[in-house]
Amino acid sequence: MIYLDHNATTPLAPEALEAMLPYLREQFGNAGSGHALGLVAQEALVLARSRVAALLNADPGELVFGSGGTESLNHALRGALTPAKRHVVSTAVEHSATLAILEDLKRAGVEVTLVGVDAQGRLDLEALEAAIRPDTALVTVMAANNETGVLFPVSEVARLAKAKGALCHTDATQAVGKVPVDVRAWGVDLLTFSGHKFHGPKGIGGLFIRRGVRLRPFMVGGQQERGRRGGTENVPGIVGLGRAAELAQAGLADMPRLAQVRDAFEARLKADHPDLVVHGGEAGRLPNTLLAGFPGLEGEALLLRLSQRGICVSVGSACTTGQREPSHVLRAMGADHGVARGTLRFSLGQGQTEADLRVVAEVLAERVTDLRAKGGLGR
């Protein structure tokens, strides 16, 4: 199997699993207990928190662990609102989880302004600045788009938000582990991340809350996480997250090589398919991501044919697979409908080589030829 869907999820690092196992077996104590087993769990949380903080250049006390990116998004977006500030600025290409939360907030009377992007998926900063109002509670933008891989100018967004008295949040779920993430350099107030995107376990992630920022607790019921997220801590998950963060920090050194592998693959596809459209290809992107459109083809049909040969890709976000219409990201970019319907996302992972991608290119050429002979739909 050749797995090229790392933006959807990543395999659990063996080192992370090994770190977790003692806390699933003999070291099963509750971190809130005062006896020996509880103290072992507390110490494990302290170590894991320091490892994640180092990856983000944050202070350990600024992190709140939870069930993952979606929970942390809810915490940030809902917790930032105040009675005097009920307006949120975001973008039209955010992850579907963010957009779903914003739609729910709108039903509760919160005003939401979505800023557009250009044909390459780049953020319109002038429009974003103009959208920020005196009653804007939060400006929330993703650090990197999960479909195109296009990077957003987070530090500039934070500067514009703070200049107008609003908090700034970034969804760094796709960025962490692929590019350097630095909450100090970026100047953000809030940042969300999820462990399974960088070889940690599923069901664990977190929220960075800059010291001094007042945010309503996401879940009440206990004093865990300094009273900001009640509930018994997922010690094994947090331990695995911490070890994965440590590995991700070291793995950043491999990203330039991975970008070269991606670029060589992209060049091969362009040579094999002269009408190929690379969405966001002219913008700065994550080093592992390629979103490519094959005009006149049905992306789902092509995906299934690749899957039959043991090649795992996606048609965009894993959260929207199965939808017949092009993704909201490609619609916001103004992509041609026929190209968007035939789009596949290839997201590489650590250790993958040009040899892997040459195999994929060869199989892809066969499958594209077969689909075109059948009118592009595979029927």
82-92 pLDDT, tens digit each = 999 999 999 99
Q: In angstroms, rounded to a whole number, what is the distance separating the alpha carbons of residues 230 and 216?
A: 12
Q: Which is nearest to 208 in space by CA: 236, 183, 185, 240?
A: 183
Could you tell me which of 376, 370, 360 has the C-alpha nearest to residue 306? 360
DSSP assignment letter at 5 = B
Enzyme catalytic residues: 319
pLDDT tens digits along 343-376: 999 999 988 999 999 999 999 999 999 998 887 6
Angle (CA) 35 39 40, round 5°: 120
Q: pLDDT by residue (tens digit) across 104-134?
A: 999 999 999 999 999 999 999 999 999 999 9
pLDDT in tens, 210-232: 999 999 888 888 888 887 887 88
Q: What is the CATH number of domain 2-8+254-373?
A: 3.90.1150.10
For the chain, give every domain's residue range: 2-8+254-373
Proportion of the chain in helix, strand, coil states, percent, rounded to 5: 45, 15, 40
Q: Which amino acid is at 250?
A: A
Distance CA 283, CA 73 (A): 26
**Neighbouring C-beta atoms of residue 9, cutoff 10 Å:** 14
Give the predicted TM-score (pTM) of the model.
0.94
Calculated CA dihedral for residues 165, 55, 173, 258, nearest 10 degrees: 130
Q: Is the pLDDT of residue 299 over 70?
A: yes
